[in-house]
Amino acid sequence: MNLRRVFGIVAVLAAVALVIRLRSARAADDGLDGEF
């Protein structure tokens, strides 16, 4: 695996983790924790 592919996978995983964190934070604020 080349470095560019590894960096792309890491970037995608980081973006997904950020979206999940933001969704869980919004759900906690709305009292809907555990929806996603």
pLDDT in tens, 1-36: 799 999 999 999 999 999 998 888 776 666 555 555
Q: What's the pLDDT score for residue 15?
A: 96
Q: What is the DSSP letter of 27?
A: H
Predicted pLDDT of residue 1:
75
Record the pTM.
Answer: 0.58
Domain count for the chain: 1
Q: Give me the domain span that covers residue 7.
A: 1-36
The DSSP output letter for 7 is H
